[in-house]
């Protein structure tokens, strides 16, 4: 049933291997020895109170933290599909192509719907119109947006509703066919119906991508994540199948958090 | 059932309902075969029922598991919430109906060890009514028919009346029985099981009324029996 989520055997090697990862913002440690394997082609949710390090950890996966002065990995490693992504010779543009990201606040460019979707393809030098059209349609279809925008592809993206704009951002993130999709509270600014549409979309997208989502909304984690990681004070407290985390958490801190006793 | 935006939610509810209906079908079949084992002195059939009960037990666990998962994952509200709760309660009642069927089959097996007893046929009318109650209870659930669900109570009263009457006859026979007193005792317990199956069917009907109209009618008939002037609704 339902439980195709929690009982899935993991036939693929982990998409992301995190080994004793420590991270600090200047002198302030934010992550303390996080070790975790994130399963491929599944949705993993990071939950935990504000400041627990879940977004910091997420942003380590495409090294977007590199942009913050003084922010650095102080120990441990992250391997994506077997490659240490903190090696100095890593091509960051290629890393970010393979590890796409969707942010809390939908942020389409002030361009047409079409130009938003093909933006990264143009950046990577693709000029052929038929290829751009084909990729744009495929990405919009995958983002469950095609039927709603196919007749106004060249209208401004800013005219779309919030939920549509966020799905457009998802289309923009997946058009370059990443392996991994990072989502940092992607529904925080959306109404409940738009939220459910995004969640349903995650369910479809996990057939193609490994998805990691940070959410404050525990109900969202239960609805759409196969696995859930609970973090607290920069440490990974518990990681397991979502139903186990919410039905029979092993750690008393997880129990307290999911039952609303603290946080 | 309206479709949800989240397709996994629909899938989960569909699985829950499919398992519940399979369970109902097995419980009814077990009851039918247990009574045929008695009425036709068919011990093989009794053994079949006893073996089949584990399937119903497994389905009860499955319905509970799916129901729990739906509650945890999807946080159902309104009709969805009532559907999950009612389905889980109905599955408990179906499991108990199947347990009674197994009890009947075990007693039939014991009775069948001796000479056939013509008097087993005395239970036929009671069985017919109990079976009709199970059938109507599940029809009320599958056809979203709270009127039928509520009507089960009256039918159950008829079953109770028949049971009392038959119970008296069987007790009289037991008092005068010679060597076959055990068999008469078994028939008394089988009659009791059929009467309990009626009660369990009424429970299913009440759950259907709760599911379809959000009204909790449990114990209402008892309250009305005690208080001839119930407060206005």
Chain A residues in contact with B68 by the CB 8 A cut-off are: 247
Chain B contact present for A219, CB below 8 A: yes
Structure tokens at A28: 């302030």
Identity of the residue in A196, A219, A243 whose CB atom sits nearest the CB atom of B5: A196
> What's the pLDDT score for residue A54?
96
Sheet holding A71-80, edge to edge: A28-38, A16-25, A71-80, A83-84
- Our CA-based measurement puts residue A215 at a distance from the nearest CA of chain B, in whole angstroms, of 15
Question: For chain A, which ranges sit under pLDDT 70?
Answer: 1-11, 263
Of B5, B12, B75, the CB nearest to A2: B12
Q: Which residues of B touch A6 (CB under 8 A)?
A: 69
The CA distance from A196 to the nearest CA of chain B, in Å, is: 6
C-alpha to C-alpha distances, B226 to A25, B154, B202, B230, nearest whole angstrom: 72, 17, 19, 9
Q: B4 and A196 in contact by Cβ < 8 A?
A: yes
- Nearest-CA distance B94 → chain A (Å): 21
| CB nearest to B72's CB, from A193, A199, A243 | A243
Residue A255 — φ and ψ, nearest 5°? -55, -45
| pLDDT, position A1 | 39
Q: Which residues contact B232 (CB under 8 A, 6 or more apart)?
A: none
- Look at residue A4 and give its three-state secondary structure: helix
Mutate to test the interface with A, among B2, B3, B4, B6 (most CBs of A within 10 A): B6
Interaxial angle between packed helices B146-176 and B124-142, expressed in degrees from 0 to 180 and rounded to the nearest 10: 160
Q: What is the DSSP string of A56-109?
A: HHHHHTTTGGGGSTTEEEEEEEEEETTEETTSTT--HHHHHHHEEEE-SS----
* Count of CB atoms situated within 10 Å of the CB of A207: 8
A206 touches chain B (CB under 8 A): no
Residues of B in contact with A205 (CB under 8 A): none
**Does the CB of A200 have a partner CB in chain B at under 8 Å?**
yes
On chain A, the residues whose CB falls within 8 A of the CB of B16 are 1
In the structure, what pLDDT confidence band is assigned to residue B1 with cuts at 50, 70 and 90? low
Q: What domains sit in chain A, N to C, each tagged with a CATH number?
A: 13-258 (3.40.50.300)
* Residue A152 DSSP one-character state: G
Compare CB distances from B7 to A6, A200, A243 and report the shortest one's residue.
A200
Q: pLDDT by residue (tens digit) across B203-228? A: 999 999 999 998 888 887 666 544 54
| Residue B176, CA distances (Å) to B48, B112, B182, B207 in order | 33, 21, 12, 43
What sign does the CA torsion over A205, A209, A214, A218 have?
Answer: positive
CA-nearest of B12, B94, B101, B109 to B59 is: B94
Question: How far apart are the C-alpha atoms of A27 and B82, rounded to whole Å?
Answer: 53
Tell me which chain B residues have a C-beta less than 8 angstroms from the C-beta of A196.
4-6
Q: Which pLDDT tens digit goes with each residue over B45-99?
A: 999 999 998 999 999 999 999 999 999 999 999 999 999 999 999 999 999 999 9
- For the stretch B125-158, pLDDT in tens is 999 999 999 999 999 999 999 999 999 999 999 9
B72 CB neighbours in chain A (<8 A) are 222, 243, 246-247
- Secondary structure (DSSP) of chain B: -PPPSSHHHHHHHHHHHHHHHHHHHHHHHHHHHHHHHHHTT-HHHHHHHHHHHHHHHHHHHHHHHHHHHHHHHH---HHHHHHHHHHHHHHHHHHHHHHHHHHHHHHHHHHHTSS--GGGGGGHHHHHHHHHHHHHHHHHHHTT-HHHHHHHHHHHHHHHHHHHHHHHHHHHHHHH-STTHHHHHHHHHHHHHHHHHHHHHHHHHHHHHHHHH----TTHHHHHHH-SSPPP-
Residue A30 sits at φ, ψ, to 5 deg, of: -120, -30
* Chain B neighbors of A223, CB-CB under 8 A: 6, 8-9, 73-74
Which position has the token pair 């008695």? B38
Identify the pLDDT of residue B224. 59
Please give the residue of chain B at the shortest CA–CA distance from A6: B69
What's the rounded Cα separation, in Å, for the pair A161 and A155? 13
Provide ipTM, 2 decimals. 0.74
C-beta atoms of B66 and A2 within 8 A: yes
**Which pTM does this prediction carry?**
0.81
Whether the pLDDT of residue B232 is over 70: the answer is no
Q: How far apart are alpha carbons A82 and A96 in whole angstroms?
A: 16
Nearest beta carbon to residue B73 from set A193, A197, A223: A223
Tell me, rounded to whole angstroms, the distance of Cα A135 from its chain centroid: 21
8 Å CB contact of A247 and B75: no
- Sign of torsion over alpha carbons B132, B135, B137, B139: negative
Q: Could you read off the pLDDT of A30-64 as tens digits, one per residue?
A: 999 999 999 999 999 999 999 999 999 999 999 99
Q: What chain A residue is nearest to B18 in terms of C-alpha separation?
A: A1
Say if CB B49 and CB B34 are below 8 A apart: yes
Q: What is the DSSP letter of A13?
A: P
- Per DSSP, the three-state class of A170 is helix
Record the tokens describing residue B58, joined without a space. Answer: 């497994």
Digit-coded pLDDT (tens) for A155-197: 999 999 999 999 999 999 999 999 999 999 999 888 888 888 8
What pLDDT was estimated at residue B233?
46
Give, for A32, the enclosing helix (H) or strand (E): strand A28-38
Cβ A75 vs Cβ A57: under 8 Å: no
3-state secondary structure of A52: coil
Q: Which two tokens stand for residue B161?
A: 């009346």
Cβ <8 Å between B5 and A246: no
User: Chain A within 8 Å of B3 (Cβ-Cβ)?
Assistant: no
What's the rounded Cα separation, in Å, for the pair A248 and B69? 12
Q: Go through A148-165 and write b for each residue having 16 or more CB atoms within 10 A of its CB, e for each that does not.
A: bbeeebeeebeebeebbb
> What is the C-alpha separation between B9 and B81, in angstroms, rounded?
12
Backbone phi, psi, residue B53, to 5°: -65, -30
d(CA A38, CA A209): 12
* Chain A (54-83) residues lying within 8 Å, Cβ to Cβ, of chain B: none
The reported pLDDT for the residue numbered A11 is 66
The domains located in chain B, with CATH, are 7-225 (1.20.58.220)
Residue of B225, B67, B7 whose CA lies nearest to A247: B67
């Amino acid at each position: 049933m339902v439980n195709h989520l929690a009982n899935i055997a993991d036939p693929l090697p982990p998409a992301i291997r995190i080994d004793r990862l420590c991270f600090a913002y200047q002198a302030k440690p934010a992550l303390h020895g996080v070790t975790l394997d994130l399963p491929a082609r599944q949705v993993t949710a990071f939950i935990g109170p504000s400041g627990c390090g879940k977004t910091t950890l997420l942003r380590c996966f495409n090294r977007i933290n590199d942009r913050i002065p003084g922010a650095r990995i102080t120990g441990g490693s992250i391997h994506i599909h077997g490659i240490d992504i903190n090696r100095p010779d890593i091509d960051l543009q290629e890393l970010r192509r393979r590890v796409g990201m969707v942010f809390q606040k939908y942020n389409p460019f002030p361009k047409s719907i079409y130009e938003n979707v093909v933006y990264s393809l143009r950046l990577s030098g693709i000029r052929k119109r038929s290829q751009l059209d084909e990729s744009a349609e495929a990405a919009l279809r995958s983002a469950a947006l095609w039927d709603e925008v196919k007749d106004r592809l060249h209208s401004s993206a800013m005219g779309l509703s919030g939920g549509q704009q966020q799905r457009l951002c998802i289309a923009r993130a997946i058009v370059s066919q990443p392996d991994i999709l990072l989502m940092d509270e992607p529904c925080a600014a959306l109404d409940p119906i738009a939220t459910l549409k995004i969640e349903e979309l995650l369910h479809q997208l996990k057939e193609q991508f490994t998805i990691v989502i940070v959410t404050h909304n525990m109900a969202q984690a239960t609805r759409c994540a196969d696995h859930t990681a609970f973090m607290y004070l920069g440490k990974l407290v518990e990681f397991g199948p979502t139903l186990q985390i919410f039905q029979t958490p092993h750690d008393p801190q997880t129990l307290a958090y999911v039952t609303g006793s603290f946080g | 059932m309206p479709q949800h935006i989240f397709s996994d939610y629909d899938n989960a509810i569909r699985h829950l309902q499919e398992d519940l209906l399979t369970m109902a079908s097995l419980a009814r079949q077990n009851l039918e075969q247990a009574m045929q084992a008695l009425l036709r002195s068919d011990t093989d059939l009794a053994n079949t029922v006893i073996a089949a009960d584990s399937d119903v037990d497994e389905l009860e666990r499955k319905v509970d598991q799916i129901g729990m998962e739906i509650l945890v994952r999807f946080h159902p509200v309104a009709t969805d919430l009532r559907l999950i709760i009612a389905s889980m309660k109905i599955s408990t009642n179906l499991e108990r109906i199947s347990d009674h069927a197994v009890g009947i089959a075990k007693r039939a097996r014991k009775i069948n060890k001796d000479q056939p007893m013509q008097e087993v046929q005395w239970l036929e009318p009671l069985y017919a009514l109990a079976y009709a109650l199970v059938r109507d209870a599940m029809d009320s659930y599958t056809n979203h028919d709270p009127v039928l669900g509520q009507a089960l109570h009256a039918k159950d009263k008829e079953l109770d009346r028949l049971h009392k009457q038959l119970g008296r006859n069987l007790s009289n026979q037991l008092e005068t029985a010679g060597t076959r007193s055990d068999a008469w005792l078994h028939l008394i317990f089988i009659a009791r099981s059929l009467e309990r199956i009626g009660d369990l069917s009424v429970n299913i009907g009440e759950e259907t009324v709760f599911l379809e109209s959000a009204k909790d009618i449990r114990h209402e008939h008892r309250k009305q029996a005690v208080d001839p002037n119930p407060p206005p609704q």
